[in-house]
Chain A
Amino acid sequence: MKRKNSKSVAATLTTATCALLGTTTTTPVNAQEEHAWEFDTALLYYGEGDSRVQDASVNLLAVRNFVDDRVLSLTLGVDSLTGATPIGAVPFDGPQTFTSPSGLRVKTRPANEIPLDDSFLDTRVAFSAGWQQPWGRLSSFNAGVSASKEYDYLHLGANFKLAHDFNKRNTTVSLGLAFSSDELDPVGGAPQALTSMLDVGDLSNRLGSQSKDVLDVVLGVSQIINRNLVVQLNYSYSSADGYLNDPYKIVSLVDPVSGDPVPRVPTPGVDGPSHEYLFEGRPDQRTKHSIYGQAKYYMNGKVLDASYRYMTDDWDVDSHTVDLRYRWPFSGQSYIEPHVRYYTQTHADFYRTSLDSSAPLPAYASADYRLGEFDAITVGVKYGRQLQSGNEWSARVEFYTSSGSVPADLLIGNQAGREIYPDLNAIIAQFSYSFGW
């Protein structure tokens, strides 16, 4: 929690001094009271350019500190999402018609544009609760639950963490475990992997609801180096099993020479796709490993926060993330914090921009741009101010931009001269207020 109880500390010191001097304090007794609850609240706007995803959210973190270092944390977040997102089909110089995810209507997208699905509208509500308490003199135990609900998705999770201090509490080792069990109930039913997008009303290749389970293990060590420097090193293992496809993403079947989508004729009298598209198919298992290192360094009032993460998985995605924040206090109660983040990833081994219609189908294929090869940069700044009451507000604006490159061997025919990868530009704006109650 960011809120400071400077007023309470001052009041306590005054009282203590007065007690030592044998005088009575004139400070009202209630000034010494600690707030039972501490709240962090945030309003967030996330908006992508080109009328893509827009998200407005309200977020709350409530922390209740009890005696003996026992802490209850509750979070609540409500997201409202609208906008359009790339569906995976390749653009070409003619219009393309797609059956909507519900299977009830068609939508035509213009020529020479990366096809988007704009039927995207969702509300997400996420809740979590955590309880922390000491376990013996040098250890602490943490247990929590989480749940989130979207129109087509339900997440339920539980997590546990044990931490142990030693070396005069300069070193802390921790072990965390999290298990999540998610259920997907896509609009129109989850499509069977690598089957065709069908005419309106034909839901014969749709399955019922699907599930996925994720197990996470995090091993961490944090070490205080000196009065101004603390470092953290984590190893994480994550294993996901079940339906890992994005049920709304497709891959174009293309002509082996031109690279253009293969035309298709819907059943007479029925609307349907103008070209051959297959629903994507990913493996039903994924194992990820990551190493995360962080250092916080205090430099005469300023704080440098630097972190690095390396991730690798058995889908052949390798990524590097570097994150730097520099908190710069000024005029007593205010600070400004510039932030830079760099991210780069390789593409998954089954990432394809399209599939050659003359070749046998591969076991797995996805044209999801998030499984492609890309770099992303975030640049932002935050301004924060502590009020006389001890409450604090802050505002931040960040720009997130990602730009991908498709390896030449994945491009077929005319695709080489076209913009196939959907680059992304987004703005993140957040207003936060922290207070005690």
Chain B
Amino acid sequence: MKKLIMIRRALIAMLLISLAGCSSMGVEPWERDVLAKDEMQLIADPLEVAIDEHIYFSKEASSGGRGFGGGGCGCN
């Protein structure tokens, strides 16, 4: 019984630590200088991404993941 309580306490402690970790993730609004740069956008070059996805869609059996995989081409 004592062991169970200890495990429960350990679990609660871990949960609290991980929650604290979550809340410390992220930045304040005034710390977004780097993240606002064009090259730091998740899709920095949308035209190049579209071109590449079209090429790989035509040559491989996978598509999408980053965005929609859809149809749109008779090449596959």
A residues bordering B, Cβ < 8 Å?
A: 1-4, 40-42, 44, 46, 57, 59-61, 75, 77, 124, 126, 146, 148, 150, 152-153, 155, 157, 159, 167-171, 176, 178, 180, 182, 184, 212, 214, 216, 218, 222-228, 230, 232, 234, 236, 238, 240, 246, 288, 290-292, 294, 296, 298, 303, 305, 307, 309, 311, 313, 315, 317, 319, 321, 327, 335, 343, 345, 348, 370-371, 376, 396, 400, 402, 424, 426, 428, 430, 432
Q: What A residues does B64 contact at CB under 8 A?
A: 216, 218, 236, 238, 288, 290, 311
Q: Is the CB of B25 within 8 A of A216?
A: no
Residue of A nearest to B57 (CB): A370
On whether the beta carbons of A430 and B40 are closer than 8 Å, the reply is no
State in angstroms the CA–CA spacing of A216 and B50 once bound together.
17
| Contact B29–A157 (Cβ < 8 Å) | no
Given A298-B34, A311-B62, A313-B61, 15 more contacts at CB 8 Å? A46-B55, A148-B73, A168-B26, A170-B25, A218-B67, A225-B26, A226-B26, A227-B33, A238-B63, A290-B69, A321-B65, A327-B39, A376-B59, A402-B60, A432-B48
Knowing A4-B38, A155-B71, A424-B59, the reply to whether A171 touches B26 (Cβ < 8 A) is yes
Q: In the complex, which residue of chain B has the Cβ closest to the Cβ of A148?
A: B72
Contact in complex: A155, B42 (CB < 8 Å): no
**Whole-angstrom distance between the Cβ of A433 and the nearest chain B Cβ:** 11
A224 lies within 8 A of B27 (CB): yes
Interface size on B, residues (CB 8 A): 43
How far is it, in angstroms, between the C-alpha of A46 and the C-alpha of B56 when the chains are bound? 12
B26: A residues at CB distance < 8 A: 167-168, 170-171, 223-226
Question: B20 at interface (Cβ–Cβ under 8 A)?
Answer: no
* In-complex Cβ contact of B62 among A226, A345, A400 (8 A): A345
Q: What residues on B are CB-neighbors of A343 within 8 Å? A: 56, 60, 62
User: Could you pull out 18 A-B pairs where Cβ atoms are within 8 angstroms?
Assistant: A1-B38, A1-B46, A4-B38, A40-B47, A44-B51, A46-B55, A75-B47, A77-B54, A126-B72, A150-B74, A214-B70, A223-B25, A230-B35, A238-B63, A246-B76, A288-B63, A296-B42, A370-B60
Nearest-neighbor residue (CB-CB) of A147 within chain B = B72
Residues on the B chain within 8 Å of A178, using CB: 68, 70
Are B72 and A170 in contact, with the CB atoms below 8 A? no
User: Which residue of B has the minimal Cβ distance to A325?
Assistant: B44
- A347 nearest CB neighbor, chain B only: B61
Please give the distance in Å from A138's CB to the nearest CB on chain B: 13
Main secondary structure of the interface of B (DSSP, over half): loop
CA distance A240 to B45 in the complex (A): 28
A311 in contact with B73 (CB, 8 Å): no
Whether the Cβ atoms of B70 and A227 lie closer than 8 Å is no
- A59-B51, A317-B62, A428-B55 known; A212+B71 contact, CB < 8 A: yes
A373 vs B1: C-alpha distance in the bound complex, in angstroms? 55
Contact yes or no, B56 A2, CB < 8 A: no
Given contacts A240-B71, A432-B47, contact A234 B25 (CB under 8 A): no
Q: What separation, in Å, do the CA atoms of A146 and B69 have in the docked complex?
A: 13
Cα–Cα distance between A227 and B72 once the two chains are bound (Å):
38
Contact check: which of B28, B50, B76 meets A59 at CB < 8 Å? B50
In the complex, the answer to whether B62 meets A224 with C-beta atoms within 8 Å is no
Determine whether the beta carbon of B62 is less than 8 Å from that of A290: yes
A124-B73, A225-B26, A317-B61 are contacts. A296–B40 as well, Cβ < 8 Å?
Answer: yes
A180 to B73, CA, bound (A): 11
Question: Would you call B68 and A227 a contact (CB within 8 A)?
Answer: no
Q: B45 to nearest A CB, angstroms?
A: 6
Give every chain B residue within 8 A of A327 (Cβ-Cβ).
39
Among B60, B67, B74, find the residue whose CB has the most chain A CB atoms closer than 10 A.
B74
With both chains docked as a complex, state the minimum distance between the C-beta of B27 and any C-beta of chain A, in angstroms: 5
Given contacts A168-B28, A227-B31, A309-B65, contact A180 B60 (CB under 8 A): no
Q: How far is the CA of A311 from the CA of B54 in the complex (A)?
A: 17
Beyond A168-B26, A370-B60, is A307–B66 a contact (Cβ under 8 Å)? yes
Which among B38, B46, B54, B72 has the greatest number of chain A C-beta atoms within 10 A?
B72
B76's nearest neighbour on chain A, judged by CB, is A370
Contacts of A426 in B (CB 8 A): 59
